[in-house]
Amino acid sequence: MNDMLVTIITPCFNSEKTISRTIESVLGQKYSNMEYLIIDGASTDRTVEIARSYEEAFRESASFRGRMRIISEPDDGIYYAMNKGIQMADGELIGIINSDDYYEENAVTVMAEYRTDAPYQILYGFERILRNGKEAGICIHHHTNLDYQMITHPTCFVTKKLYEDLGVFNTAYRYSADYEFMLRMYHSGKVEFTPVYRIISNYALGGASGTGEAYMETQGLYYQYGMISKKRYRLLKWKFRIGKLINGR
């Protein structure tokens, strides 16, 4: 599978502090046939300027041969950006790396080696977790435990045909559309999940995934897929609303 085209997508917004490291981790990949899509939500800082400063390097790269595109326009959040990138992607296999994360230098090569002939495949591996720039841990969560724990999404590579035939991210979910997507794929019974026991990406702690709203979205998914009862979910919603009232939010 070393001859297939692999697309890497980076959704971003006001990421001037971190996007250079992300871009350089993509540019440094040794795999021979790639394209790179940066989907920016009309940043007001130097994000786009920084991204464009790498265009010449991607033109000169034997792996990319100029196949780098930067799209900057208003959108409705990260999952809209991901879906836009997926629609634009020409690659058979698609990886999504956020603008505050970065790949290990052999990430694409490793994932390409584990690509099978399955039309609907999701590959995932280990991610290194960083706190304040220092290693806090290395983890992987097996897909057979998806009903209770999201797999390591920053490491995931997904076949384009899966997105085309089975669907993309549901933007009704503001914080947990990636988890909803994986649950939907897992419960479809049509997808080959492939764990790869190598470090693929590096993930910086922080962001919206730790908010109360994100927690409640996840609880809604647990209820939808039968992991918690209606009574339990209603109680959690009540506690969450009371907490917001008490805290004045």
At residue 227, does pLDDT exceed 60?
yes
pLDDT of residue 154: 94
Mean per-residue pLDDT, 31-41: 97
Residue 151 — very low, low, confident or very high, per pLDDT cuts 50/70/90? Answer: very high
Mean per-residue pLDDT, 192-204: 95
Which residue, chain included where needed, has tokens 């009862």? 229
Which residue, chain included where needed, has tokens 């871009």? 23
pLDDT of residue 228: 62
pLDDT of residue 165: 98
Q: How far apart are CA 227 and CA 234, in angstroms?
A: 14
Residue 51 — very low, low, confident or very high, per pLDDT cuts 50/70/90? Answer: very high
Q: How far apart are CA 97 and CA 34, in angstroms?
A: 14
Residue 92 — very low, low, confident or very high, per pLDDT cuts 50/70/90? Answer: very high
58, 27 Cβ separation under 8 angstroms: yes
Residue 244 — very low, low, confident or very high, per pLDDT cuts 50/70/90? Answer: very low
Written as six digits, the tokens of 69 are 């595109």
Between 249 and 62, the more confident residue is: 62
163, 82 Cβ separation under 8 angstroms: no
Between 175 and 80, the more confident residue is: 80
Q: Which domains does the chain have, with CATH numbers?
A: 6-206 (3.90.550.10), 211-249 (no CATH)
Amino acid, single-letter form, for residue 199: I
Pick from 65, 58, 50, 74: nearest CA to 26: 58
Residue 48 — very low, low, confident or very high, per pLDDT cuts 50/70/90? Answer: very high
Residue 67 — very low, low, confident or very high, per pLDDT cuts 50/70/90? Answer: very high
Q: What angle do CA 33, 195, 168 make, to 5 degrees?
A: 65
- 156-193 pLDDT, tens digit per residue, is 999 999 999 999 999 999 989 999 999 999 999 999 99
pLDDT of residue 3: 87
pLDDT of residue 58: 97
Between 234 and 157, the more confident residue is: 157
Residue 215 — very low, low, confident or very high, per pLDDT cuts 50/70/90? Answer: low
Whole-model pTM: value is 0.86
12, 43 Cβ separation under 8 angstroms: yes
Mean per-residue pLDDT, 105-114: 97
Question: What value does the mean pLDDT of the chain take?
Answer: 89
At residue 115, does pLDDT exceed 60?
yes
Lowest-confidence pick of 75-79, 135-139, 206-210 = 206-210
